[in-house]
Chain A
Amino acid sequence: MAMFSQNPLMNGPNYSFGDAPKIGAPEGAREHRFDPYTDNGGSTLAIAGADFAIMAGDTRLTSGYSINSRHHPKVFKIGGTTADQHDATIVLSVVGFAADGEALKERLDSICKMYRYRHGKPMNVKACAQRLSTILYQKRFFPYYAYAILGGLDEEGKGAVYSYDPVGSYEREQCRAGGAAASLIMPFLDNQVNFKNQYVPGSGEGHALQERERRPLSRNEVEILVKDAFDGAVERHIEVGDGLQMMVITSNGVEEILLPLKKD
């Protein structure tokens, strides 16, 4: 899935925000241009469990080397009956350009609300995921600069995580990291959630080794993984930090947890 690859190319500066050299306009000419996008940094993470899903994001908002806010949420409840979202069942996380993320959240929320009022029931996560893709693709040539992840419970009550690129290509996954520190967190998730590169001891040599069987993780285990992933990302990425916002989606609703992260 090359479209999800957020690894910065090694032929340029290793920052996720725009740092491209400005092209010098010819002598005497003034270059006017419209640059509608900013990268506001930050990172998001989602992991699906057997009967729950956890969506998480840091709360730092940056532009360039500046920290604009230490508490700007990236994870939102979607499609509740009222503005306080007390009965929401779906959670959306957005990272990239904060204004686009905000607009995308508002749009998806109102669509989900309209659905609820018209149908008298909340939208299920599969339908919502498809709708989000449509919203993103509608702006194919002036995209929302946002990497979205949608989380909820599917019809069978299993945790569901859908991840998107900015133009609406999407996939249901077990886990996904997005944003500035995605390249730091994603291999950790492969290793700890999907048990990649873990083998049964003594089951063979080289490629004959038997892979460790995957098992659903408990909510507690996943919470620890999320914290560890962000602690690691905070340590090595300047755009990640301040606070960790976690939404735990279970059949009992959505529980929000706020934890401190390093502020340096």
Chain B
Amino acid sequence: MVGKDCVAIACDLRLGLQALTVSNNFPKIFQYGDNVFLGLTGLATDLSTVSDLFRYKVNMYRLREERNIAPKTFANLVSSSLYEKRFGPYFVSPVVAGLDPKTSKPFICGFDSIGCIDFAADFIVSGTATDQLYGMCESLWEPNLAPEDLFETISQALMSAVDRDALSGWGAHVYIIEKDKVTKRLLKGRQD
């Protein structure tokens, strides 16, 4: 979710096999630099494969280019990596959020499982609570939210959305990304 000179990314903590809850502390957000974040939903085994793959790719990029990867570059890397598996895709729908290191402009985008990028100026949602999140974000989000307001907006949107989805919930992680600061907060949610 985009704010004024800041972005936020949040995830719930549930891991389940259909209706069976397997874990209630399973974060889905990964950091790939000072201000590049990847959120992953989908098949858990692909989540760890994909997150590790990008850890490797981003580390190689950093060594080769002697610089951190920019969110937009990372997004294109995600896209091309997913499309490489066009006919045997990873079952994930990633979300990228970050601040451009040069301009400090917020950047967010989402992908389908084969890498088609959805650039958005406001918010990106993904996962089993997609419908609920769209409804929440569309009605709660407004342009130019300050970091604290953005935190409140994304938290309320996520918590209310997952409460109406049986397959999501069990608390949340919220990252607020500002120019020289990243704030991570843990939210307690309904434990059912």
A–B interface present (Cβ within 8 A): yes
Q: Which residues of A are at the interface with B, using a C-beta cutoff of 8 A?
A: 5, 7-8, 10, 14, 181, 183-188, 190-191, 196-198, 206-207, 209, 228-229, 231-233, 235-236
Interface residues on B, range: 20 to 34
B160 touches A188 (CB 8 A): yes
List CB contacts (< 8 Å) of B100-135 with chain A.
128, 130-132, 134-135
- Residues of B near A184 (CB, < 8 A) are 131-132, 134-136, 138
B156 touches A185 (CB 8 A): no
Q: Evaluate whether A191 and B132 lie within 8 angstroms (CB atoms) in the complex, with A206-B188, A236-B138 already known.
A: no
Name the interface residues of B125-176: CB closer than 8 Å to any CB of A.
128, 130-132, 134-136, 138-140, 155-156, 159-161, 163-167
Given contacts A8-B131, A184-B131, A207-B188, contact A232 B139 (CB under 8 A): yes
With a 10 A CB-CB cut-off, give which of B140, B161, B164 has the most chain A CB atoms. Answer: B164
B-chain residues with CB within 8 Å of residue A198 when the two chains form the complex: 156
**Could you tell me if A235 and B160 are in contact, using CB atoms closer than 8 angstroms?**
no
Partner of B163, one of A185, A190, A236: A190
A-B pairs with the 8 shortest C-beta distances? A184-B135, A232-B138, A232-B139, A183-B131, A191-B160, A206-B188, A197-B159, A187-B160
Partner of B136, one of A191, A207, A209: A191
Q: A187-B136, A197-B155, A197-B160 are in contact. List 10 more A-B contacts (CB 8 A).
A: A5-B166, A7-B165, A184-B136, A190-B164, A196-B160, A197-B159, A198-B156, A229-B139, A231-B138, A232-B135
Known A-B contacts A197-B156, A207-B188; A188 and B136 likewise in contact (beta carbons under 8 Å): yes
Query: B110 to chain A: closest CB distance in Å?
Result: 14
* Residue in B closest to A233 when the chains form the complex, CB atoms: B135
Give every chain A residue within 8 A of B163 (Cβ-Cβ): 187, 190, 196-197
Query: Measured between alpha carbons, how far is A196 from B188 in the docked complex, in Å?
Result: 13
- The chain A residue sitting closest to B135, CB to CB, is A184
What separation, in Å, do the CA atoms of A191 and B164 have in the docked complex?
A: 11
Docked CA distance A7–B61 (Å):
41
CB distance from B64 to the nearest CB of A (A): 39
Q: How far is the CA of A183 from the CA of B128 in the complex (A)?
A: 12
Residues on B with C-beta less than 8 A from A5 are: 166
**B52-79 near A? 1/0 per residue, CB < 8 Å:** 0000000000000000000000000000
Of the candidates B138, B140, B159, B167, the one having the most CB atoms from chain A within 10 angstroms of its own CB is B138
Tell me if B135 and A188 are in contact (CB < 8 A): yes
Closest CB-CB distance, B56 to chain A, in whole Å?
A: 30
In angstroms, how far is the closest chain A Cβ from the Cβ of B137? 8
- Which residues from B are CB-within-8-Å of A236? 134-135, 138
Q: Out of A10, A187, A209, which one reaches B132, CB within 8 Å?
A: A187
Residues of B within 8 A of A10 (CB): 128, 167
Docked CA distance A181–B131 (Å): 8
**A residues less than 8 Å from B140 (CB atoms):** 188, 191
**A144 vs B131: C-alpha distance when bound (angstroms):** 26
The smallest C-beta distance from A213 to any residue of chain B, in angstroms, reads 17
- Whole-angstrom distance from the CB of B116 to the nearest CB of chain A? 16
- A191 CA to B160 CA, complexed, in Å: 6
The residues of A that contact B161 with a CB separation of less than 8 Å are 187
Shortest CB distance A60–B (Å): 17
Residue-by-residue, is B32-55 near A (CB-CB < 8 Å gives 1, otherwise 0)? 000000000000000000000000
Residue in contact with A231 in the complex, picked from B132, B134, B139, CB distance below 8 Å: B139
